[in-house]
Amino acid sequence: MSNPMAQPTGPVLVLGAAGTGKTTLLVEAVAGRIRAAERPALVLALTRQAASELRDRIVRAAGRTTLAPQVMTVHALCLTLVARFAAPDDAGPGLLTAPEQEFRIRELLRGSPAPWPGELDAALGTRAFAQQVRAVLARARQLGLDPEDLSGAGAASGEFGWAAVGAFMGEYLDVLDAEGVIDYAELVHRARLLLEQEGVLEAVRAEYAAVLVDDWCELDAAQIGLVRALAGDAVPVVALADPDTAIYRFRGAHPRATAEFVRLFPAARVVTLPHAHRRPPAQVAACAAVARRLGAPAVEREALAAYRGVTGGGAGRVEVMTFPDEATHARHLAAELRAAHLDDQVPWGDMAVLVRAGRTQLPPLARALIDAGIPVEVAGDEIGLASELAVRPLLLGLEVAGAGGLPDGDQATRLLLSGWGGYDAVGLRAVGRRLRAADPAAAGTPTETLVAEALAGVRAVPEADEELAARRDLLARATALVAREQRPEAVLWELWSGTGWPERLRADAVRGGDASARAHHDLDAVCALFDLARTSQGPGGRPGVSWFAAEVAQQQIPADSQRESAVGGRGVRLLTAHRAKGRHWSLVVVAGVQEGIWPDVRRRGSVFDPQRLGASAAGPELALGLTTRDLVATERRLFLLACSRAEGRLIVTAVEGTEGEEDRPSRFLAELGVAPRHLVSTPPALHTLRQLVAELRRTAQDDAASPALREAAAARLAVLADATDDEGFALAPDADPARWWGVHEPTSTVAPAREGPIRLSPSQVESLLTCPRKYFLSREARAEPPREIRTILGSVIHAVAERAASGELAPDDVAAALDAVWASIPFPAAWLSASERAEADAAVRRFLNWQAGHDHADLVGVEVPFSADVTVNGRPVQLVGAVDRLERRSDGALKVVDFKTGRSAPTQKAAEVTPQIGVYQLAIEAGGFRDAGTTSAGASLVYLRVEDGEGWPKEFRQPSLTEKPHLTDDPEELAHPTWVHHQVARACAVLEAGRFDAQAGEHCTYCPVRSSCPARSGQVIA
Ligand code: SF4
């Protein structure tokens, strides 16, 4: 087939799926013109990066650099036209970047005289509102609409918010005009107006023999109009299109771009490219199965059949894998990448991991792969700087300094537990103890309050805590810089350079090994932060520092193209699917394809959906906007784009949790038509030195292994422990037993003495008895991750039930009360919100049934606080807490009801020995509710999410301590007045011993710190 782009004589639409050689033909055609010294063709590319890559390829193919190929983006073309045809004394407008434009809109909205409806008052100052207004302004210009058109469309449909946006648009354009700046949409609009001027069009047309447009389907209506005006019928236009992977509809890409081409150029010839040379047949078939669910582009049937019936070539396979959790997912991913590199010799730079959601999916994935020793490359602007671990404490320090240098407890703890602070949880607790010891009045004050006061300089720091004093002084110096109106970079530099952290990172970076990759990554992120601080336009002093901290946190800093171009192809690329357009790799992993994430059908404008704005023959109008079906189709195209990037092997992954519907593979996985493999176990990987050391250590300490094997493992460890690199650094320091965790005896077996009574809540007793490690990490070290949806839901159901029980909420108002809080629960997907809502309604309904039919004699109260002193083993213990519900029987005895919101209920037997409600009973008997009574009538566990068959929640009763003072014949238990005293004594013994050992069991399933638990995995921490 001859190259349809080489010497076009009229309009041509080239339809070709990914890998069919559209770009190669374009490069050859333009290079041929250069070689033959013919009049040049104008090539329009989608992005600056794509234009630059195309230019390089054309120059290489032409073999000469004397004639530069005319390759540019539509915006660059417009800028050239506007600059070239401006009045001689006009310097031409400055161009606002998208974030700069948004910033300007926010400023203007603050004092906007536009007639905004009253209901928008609260939204006017918000960033989200400014974003939506910006999108509407861009859309209006894409459709060639003026402010009056927009106002008219709003007024005609009775939507006065839209009418106000029209008024605001006029004001916005006036201000920008006065300032001599324009935005991208306005730039295209002005270029189109320019082409209408006499002589301009002819001058431009005379320069080009043809116009070649890459990615025609991603152009918006204004850009399509510009190309049409530019070419007319005089210059042949060749449009390269792959409508099934057109993904920028949300930016205004024309939904029927191929049909529009045929409409605008009725004489167009449609050419299809039928063979995808570099895409394996298996991958082509899988993508075709997905594409069949998309609407057909409006071209003739034959052309469509040829376009969709593309054939593949080359070797490669498609695999779909699911995993039970994120940790297993990351481990398998790392193992697959490493195996491909070592076993199949795929260069790191020829592999990519693509995800849907950059901000939420990339940072954890990058960290997990770096931790697994995989070299990864992430363009600087893909991961928000604020998500970088190394950047967070600097930003936080900046924020604190900007606010006067007085951190709260949470801020102080986060600062001190970071690389900047240099403390770990145990060290910080020790600081807390010393601060308490230095000030008797601080005996009951939590550590976080004490360290916050110390950092703020309002509490004396003990002499032993030099590091804490140094951080305090550093924060004070940074605060003083802010007070002296210094700019953010000066304050950041003070914070960064004033600790040993930079030196530690530098040493790690040059040492090599796994820590080196992490250190390099952290240093890169910090450098990027300094670059941004240096180039940001904000003022100095407090306003500038606060602005910069807030803007980085909200990712409002302009995208950093330098960080993008710094990606050097030496590691596995991690990027969003949107960024993958136009790129290919031998191995592509499309990762984390979860329902709720992909498709992402959240609407991007809740007040003003720009897609509602249209322009028909009758004029501008407000329509219904994109339907969910449209959104799913766009997401499907994006998925197809991601899958079609593989030139060899394609792996598509998702997490499929065993419980909790949050983790559900996307519907797109099934559409590939490839049977998924569910991988549960950890991959057997010995591909890194660190893993080898861990395996050798495990074997050397394995009692079940033969003595010879253990000895051999120990001998190899000894060799590794002595090995050093060229600079004398230990290659495998973790092979040295001196560094092994848990091998040494504790430095002290005497736990710090606890003075005064031990204070315990019933849930703490239960937690200490269930698993001391989990208790320590979650309660004392505060290492619990943020609350999961499940926990938040439990609290919501609890709160509503409590208000209903107290009479504060009438049964008929329960649904409204749930409505009021529901929108603020961060559900990952709309369907999950709906299904959980149904469950919450059912739980509250069960509660109301139970409350109405329950034979309680007298309700003493709900959420009743108590404090009771008991003595166990001669030790004073203070029991504190609050009971969900306290009832009094006719004989005066008190009964506690504890509501549970878990989905699985215990057995009756287990409920009878539950320490938590046992402790409530003990609190009653010890006078915790003295005013109500001091005799316990037993306790109940009521499971609101578990139905008993009659519309009631399941209830499990625990006998009173009088009925059943002991549960076993265990002499230890019998030595105490009741079984509950025994349990409290056991809990106190754990605290007094200061040993918080892991105790594995069924409870591990929902343990928030299980990922690091040695008892669960038997792992050795290397
Ligand atoms: S996983 Fe199990 S044993 Fe480990 S800390 Fe959690 S509850 Fe304890």
- Stated length of the chain: 1022
Which atom belonging to ligand 1 lies closest to the Cα atom of 1010? Answer: 1
**Ligand 1 midpoint to CA 772 (Å):** 8
pLDDT value at residue 337: 94
At 917, list the tokens.
Answer: 């409600």
Ligand 1 atom with the smallest distance to the CA of 1007 is 6
| Per-residue pLDDT at 901 | 84
Counting beta carbons within 10 angstroms of the beta carbon of residue 965, is it exposed (0 to 12), middle (13 to 18) or buried (19 or more)?
middle
Ligand 1 site, residue 999, Cβ cutoff 6 A: yes
CB 783 less than 6 A from any atom of ligand 1: no
What whole-number distance in Å separates Cα of residue 363 and Cα of residue 835? 29
> Is there an atom of ligand 1 within 6 Å of 1004 CB?
yes
Residue 558: per-residue pLDDT:
37
- Whole-model pTM over 0.85: no
Beta bridge partners of 15: 241, 272
178 carries a ligand binding annotation: no
Residue type, 523: L
Q: Atom 2 (ligand 1): residue with closest C-alpha?
A: 1004
- Of 427, 909, 829, the closest CA to residue 661 belongs to 829
Q: How far apart are CA 582 and CA 250, in angstroms?
A: 19
Q: State both tokens at 413.
A: 């703890």
- What 3-state DSSP class applies to 761? coil
Strand residue runs (E) in 676-791: 676-678, 758-760
Q: Mutation test of ligand 1: which of 990, 1009, 1011 has the most ligand atoms closer than 8 Å to its C-beta?
A: 1009
pLDDT score of 557: 40
Residue with tokens 């209920």: 905
Residue 649 near residue 316 (C-beta atoms within 8 A): yes
Share of the chain residues as helix, strand and coil, in percent rounded to the nearest 5: 50, 15, 35
The reply to whether ligand 1 has any atom less than 6 angstroms from the CB of 768 is no
Give the Cα-Cα-Cα angle 85, 91, 97 (nearest 5 degrees). Answer: 95
Angular region, 88: left φ>0, alpha ψ -120 to 50, beta rest: alpha
Atom of ligand 1 nearest to the CA of 1009: 6
Which ligand 1 atom lies nearest to the CA of residue 998? Answer: 3
Instruction: Concatenate the DSSP letters of all residues of 286-331 into one string.
Output: HHHHHHTTSPPPSS-HHHHHHHHT-EE-S---EEEEEESSHHHHHH
User: Residue with structure tokens 């928030």?
Assistant: 1008
Who contacts 992 (Cβ-Cβ below 8 Å, separation ≥6)?
A: 751, 754, 758
Tell me the CA–centroid distance for residue 997 and ligand 1, in Å. 9
Q: Identify the residue whose tokens are 């073999």.
A: 63
Instruction: Tell me the two tokens of residue 499.
Output: 């600790």
Q: CA gyration radius for the chain? A: 34
Question: Does 1000 contact ligand 1 (Cβ within 6 A)?
Answer: yes
The residues facing 869 across adjacent strands are 878
pLDDT of residue 479: 94
Specify whether the CB–CB gap between 390 and 419 falls below 8 A. yes
User: 782 C-alpha to center of ligand 1: Å?
Assistant: 15
Q: How far apart are CA 634 and CA 979, in angstroms?
A: 62
* Ligand 1 atom index nearest CA of 1000: 3
Ligand 1 centroid to Cα of residue 736, in Å, is 27
Mean pLDDT by runs of 10 across the 1022 residues of the chain is 83 93 93 89 91 91 78 93 79 75 83 84 80 90 89 88 92 89 90 89 91 94 94 92 90 84 92 91 95 84 88 92 89 91 92 90 85 79 73 91 90 92 85 87 83 93 91 94 89 92 84 69 83 71 77 54 50 91 94 90 72 78 79 93 96 80 83 92 69 87 91 92 77 81 62 72 93 86 61 76 76 79 66 75 86 76 88 90 89 91 87 94 93 92 88 92 92 93 94 86 81 62 36
Annotated ligand binding at 16? The verdict is: yes
CA distance 585 to 29: 25
Interval between CA 1001 and ligand 1 midpoint (Å): 8
